[in-house]
């Protein structure tokens, strides 16, 4: 793919940003376009967030719209539910994904169910931002992969961007939606740079629940989301040196899953490897593999392979690289599926 110059990107309506900056830009756009949007959480105000994602937003929009909360995750989500019931569009942040466990009651029993419980009279336009996944060698509870937990809950939408452009588009799409969305930001990719659309027009956005092919290929499909999309692109580059042409599919929406997009990709390549950071057992990769089998069984030339984290607690610090799917582990799974 030809690289655009800076002038060409600006002419095309894009600007070069990190993912951290892209999320900040999306939040700024959402706050500016709708006075009902409120941003709050642990240290999101004066400090600008632990990853500085909300930097400058309180100064621009005021402490009544961007504000800090106590370190009480259940209270943060519970407050978001009450605000949504009163006509606001809350965007709460839980500082790390592992901090979401104390708020599971509010997320599952209130945020996800209130619209259904009220027979449609109480919409829940909440976007719960979670800096997610591993890759930064942080302490325990600062790196988790909770997508299967949230995707299992009826009433929630779940999304994980893989690059700055999608972080911008998908976050705006989530905030504008009338359903509760768990927005999982891959913190290991916060400093990736890429072209991001300048405008806030939703016309350039794919519908909710749409995957995307980030690299077309012929011999097998690598399915991933979040930071593992980048890992799969690395694998595809190395495999190409040996004449193996891998397609990389970024699932993006983990609820709803793009079953048609999965089937279409596997119909082209006839093989699939699913890659994610969460443990193997009952991980979201099992759901993806089942959907591929149901929708594309006659196209499959080999069983669907999974490359995942291990069935142990997410490790801290220096052990994390041994836990996360490595390039070698993914290449080995590709080799296995090509041997059928």
Q: What are phi and psi of 155, to 5 degrees?
A: 100, -15
The whole-angstrom separation of Cα 104 and Cα 168 is 26
pLDDT value at residue 13: 79
Write down the H helix ranges in the chain: 6-11, 19-33, 57-61, 73-85, 104-106, 114-117, 147-151, 164-176, 228-240, 259-269, 284-296, 320-323, 327-338
The single residue listed with the structure tokens 């929009």 is 61
CA distances from 68 to 79, 112, 179, 316 (A): 12, 24, 24, 27
212-338 is a CATH 3.90.1150.10 domain: no
Domain limits, the chain: 15-204, 212-338
DSSP H helix total and E strand total for the chain: 13, 14
- CA torsion sign, 47 to 50 to 52 to 57? negative
pLDDT value at residue 200: 56
The single residue listed with the structure tokens 């591929």 is 292
CA distances from 245 to 116, 166, 193, 222, 271 (A): 45, 24, 26, 11, 12
Rounded to two decimals, what is the model's pTM?
0.93
The single residue listed with the structure tokens 């930097």 is 55
pLDDT value at residue 12: 53
pLDDT value at residue 203: 53
Q: Looking at domain 15-204, which of 3.40.50.720, 3.40.50.300, 3.40.50.970, 3.40.47.10 is its CATH number?
A: 3.40.50.970
Q: Which residues of the chain have pLDDT under 70?
A: 1-12, 199-204
| Residues carrying an active site annotation | 142
Q: Does 15-204 match 212-338 in CATH topology?
A: yes
pLDDT value at residue 331: 98
User: Per residue in 163-203, pLDDT tens?
Assistant: 999 999 999 999 999 999 999 999 999 999 999 987 656 55
The whole-angstrom separation of Cα 325 and Cα 329 is 6
């Amino acid at each position: 793919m030809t690289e655009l110059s800076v002038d060409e990107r600006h002419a095309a309506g894009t600007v070069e940003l990190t993912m951290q900056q892209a999320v900040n830009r999306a939040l700024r756009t959402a706050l500016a376009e709708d006075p009902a949007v409120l941003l709050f959480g642990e240290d999101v105000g004066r400090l600008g967030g632990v990853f500085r994602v909300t930097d400058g937003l309180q100064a621009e929009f005021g402490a009544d719209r961007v504000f800090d909360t106590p370190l009480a995750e259940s209270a943060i989500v519970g407050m978001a539910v009450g605000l949504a019931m009163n006509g606001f569009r809350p965007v709460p942040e839980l500082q790390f994904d592992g901090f979401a466990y104390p708020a599971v009651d509010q997320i599952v029993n209130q945020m996800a169910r209130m619209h259904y419980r009220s027979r449609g009279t109480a919409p829940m336009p909440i976007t719960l931002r979670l800096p997610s996944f591993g890759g930064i060698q942080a302490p325990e509870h600062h790196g988790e992969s909770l997508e299967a937990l949230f995707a299992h809950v009826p009433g929630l939408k779940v999304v994980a961007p893989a690059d700055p452009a999608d972080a911008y588009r998908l976050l705006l799409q989530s905030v504008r939606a009338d359903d509760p969305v768990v927005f999982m930001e891959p913190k290991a990719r916060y400093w990736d740079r890429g072209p991001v659309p300048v405008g806030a027009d939703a016309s350039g956005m794919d519908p909710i629940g749409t995957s995307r092919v980030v690299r077309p290929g012929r011999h097998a499909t690598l399915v991933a989301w979040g930071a593992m999309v980048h890992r799969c692109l690395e694998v595809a580059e190395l495999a190409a040196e040996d004449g193996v042409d891998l397609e990389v599919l970024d699932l993006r929406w983990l609820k709803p899953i793009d079953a048609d997009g999965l089937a279409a990709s596997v119909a082209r390549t006839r093989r699939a490897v699913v890659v994610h950071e969460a443990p193997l057992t009952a991980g979201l990769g099992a759901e993806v593999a089942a959907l591929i089998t149901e929708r594309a069984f006659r196209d499959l030339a080999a069983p669907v392979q999974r490359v995942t984290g291990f069935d142990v607690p997410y490790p801290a610090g220096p052990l994390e690289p041994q836990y996360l799917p490595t390039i070698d582990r993914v290449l080995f799974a590709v080799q296995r599926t090509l041997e059928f």
